[in-house]
Amino acid sequence: MKKGRHRRFEEARALKHNEDLDLDSIFDSLDSEEDKPASPAHDAWAEEFDEEEEETA
């Protein structure tokens, strides 16, 4: 589940910051980052997202 949520986060961030969206580069970067642990900032964001999901469910 974390990978899908991370992928959506990366796609949304790219859309907000760049008008010329290059999906191939996003997916390539995600493939190369799968072996690396997520950053502490992302972990905090993911935990907050999970808590919001549980509250609405």
Give tens-digit pLDDT for 24-49: 777 777 666 555 666 777 778 888 88
Residues listed for the chain: 57
What is the token pair recorded at 57?
């469910």
Q: How confident is the model at residue 54 (pLDDT cuts 50, 70, 90)?
A: confident
Overall number of domains in the chain: 1
CB distance 43 to 24 below 8 Å: no
Query: Would you tell me the crossing angle of helices 2-17 and 40-56 to the nearest 10 degrees?
Result: 110
CB distance 49 to 5 below 8 Å: yes
Domain that holds residue 14: 2-56
Greater model confidence, 3 or 56: 56
